Chains A and B, each alone.
Chain A
């Protein structure tokens, strides 16, 4: 996070030294793009706030650390797709799930769909990519996540 600020300030400073006029234009573009996306963005935040309340941590643990690995993996794929959370929450959560007996393949399904498939971010993605492409990208990402989860299961010997 801090790195992002340092880089931004540094580049902004350099840009300002090189050409104040161009920098002004860059800031204008930044503001304009931000305002353009703000509505879809707010929409996403509201949906996420509700989703995260409906699916609290302990429910996740209950479902994902199940006996039947296929059901667990299926639910992990589903959960990961509909929820979004930052990595610094998601991976510690995966650590907890691992301790509670969740399989690596389940965690792989969860973390990969979490990062690559976004039902909640869809309104935003649609704005940038268009409905068809956004849909296509999400479906394919879901398939990739499934393959990755199965591969993880194979490597960790969880599929015997």
Chain B
């Protein structure tokens, strides 16, 4: 029963997953080369992600338990000023992995009452100035390239994030609650 309920909640994954599995099984069965190549891609990505994600989620969990909401609110919340964007960009620079890694962190920040604009700036900045990525970029394309990219994109990211955040805030937009059921239980527990 529970399985059916979970499956119903994720129509996209079920659909794509079913198509993908049928395609994979078919390819393996008939020795269809493109299918096998895609399968190898999938497994190698899955492996890469499974190596990074447990760490990320453990860190998010620790963050959740140890960092007080007030601390985040003070530095990254409403009315914390321009400095909060500097924090967001610096924090973004220290992250690893792609969007899939940064999203849970961004959401955790939001739940701890960081300003939506700051959360957005953090998300987008993580795409620009992650330290390991920057080292790669500069070594293949030169420091001049990297400097130009930073100088142009970071101010734009901060500006646009501020505008979008403000706009959505005005409309009382709330991020979806990623773990609503359990949070309620926990709130009662406290």
Task: List the interface of chain A (C-beta within 8 A of B).
Answer: 1, 3-5, 7-8, 11-12, 15, 22-23, 25-34, 36-37, 39-50, 52-53, 84, 86-88, 91-92, 94-95, 98, 104, 107-108, 111-112, 115-116, 118, 121, 123-125, 127-130, 132-133, 136-137, 140-141, 143-145, 147-148, 151-152, 155-156
Contact = CB atoms under 8 A, between A and B. Distances in A.
Contacts of A137: 120, 123-124, 164
Interface stretch (B68-76, B80-88, B168-176): B168-176
Q: Chain B interface secondary structure, helix, strand, loop or mixed?
A: helix
Contacts of A23: 62, 65
Contact of B175 (A32, A36, A133): A133
Contact of B136 (A40, A87, A108): A87
Interface residues of B, number: 71
A104 B139 CA distance: 14
Contacts of A11: 59, 62
A98 B145 CA distance: 12
13 contacts: A26-B62, A33-B61, A40-B12, A42-B13, A42-B17, A43-B13, A46-B17, A49-B42, A87-B133, A125-B99, A144-B156, A148-B156, A151-B152
Interface of B: 9-10, 12-13, 16-17, 20, 34, 37-39, 41-42, 45-46, 48-49, 51-62, 64-66, 96-100, 103-104, 106-107, 120, 123-124, 127-128, 130, 132-133, 136-137, 139-141, 144-145, 148-149, 152-153, 156-157, 160, 164, 168, 173, 175-176, 178-179, 182
A41 B100 contact: yes
